[in-house]
Structure 1
Amino acid sequence: MFASKIKPYTFTLFAKKYGEEKLLDCLERNEKNGVVYHREGINGDYDDFDDVDQLMNFILTGVR
């Protein structure tokens, strides 16, 4: 899968599995802990993954 497609694909899977509210809660918690959604342009910490499961875990935990 292309790296540019992993983030939206994984975010969609996460929302289907855990719900939108859980996704938003995780994103908010991660942001408070220094995780950056958009650093410059459209890339941020969530774009550094090429594996869906690793990104899903990062969303859940905020830990690489």
Structure 2
Amino acid sequence: MSSKGFGYCGLACDYCQDNPNCVGCKKGGCPEKEACKNYQCCTSKNYKYCFECPDFPCEDSILHKLRIRIFCQYIQRYGEEDLKKHLEENYKKGIVYHYQNKHIGDYDQFDTENEIIEFIKNGRK
């Protein structure tokens, strides 16, 4: 994982291919930051992650997507380094975070929190 880290919502900025010049959400690099409720909320309240907010998970934001919400909760429970380690291991196994030109990937194929967490930890269903 490069130095982009994770977004406020838990997105893994290092695996996003949308904008190669982006330096990461927390470094102000996201082109959607003006319209992103999560970015605006966290920066105005000095939160490092959305889970610090008493309204987490807010439904009228990107957190309505299961994978994104679970990534944020995963960081809350296990920490950034644990998620980073598993994403790197899974990437080496061929697991794709985002398919080319899409905002979905292998982590989006699940219907429950437990399935996603199991996939993060083990790289398989």
TM-score of the two chains, using structure 2 as the length reference = 0.47
Q: Which runs of 5+ in 1 are unaligned?
A: none
Q: How does 1:1-64 map to 2 (within 5 A)?
A: 5-40=65-100, 41-64=102-125
Aligned residues: 61
1:43, distance to aligned residue in structure 2 (A): 1.1
| Aligned-residue CA RMSD (Å) | 1.1
- Letter aligned with residue 51 of structure 1: T
* 1:8-54, Cα deviation, whole Å (9 max, x unpaired): 11101111111001001100100000100011311110010110111
Runs of 4 or more consecutive aligned structure 1 residues displaced over 2 Å after TM superposition: none
Identify the residue that residue 7 of structure 2 maps to in structure 1: none
RCO higher in 1 or 2 (8 Å CA, sep ≥ 6)?
Answer: 1
Q: What is the TM-score of this pair, normalised by structure 1? A: 0.88
Distance across 2 between alignment mates of 1:5 and 1:42? 11
Uncovered stretches (5+) of structure 2, i.e. residues with no partner: 1-63
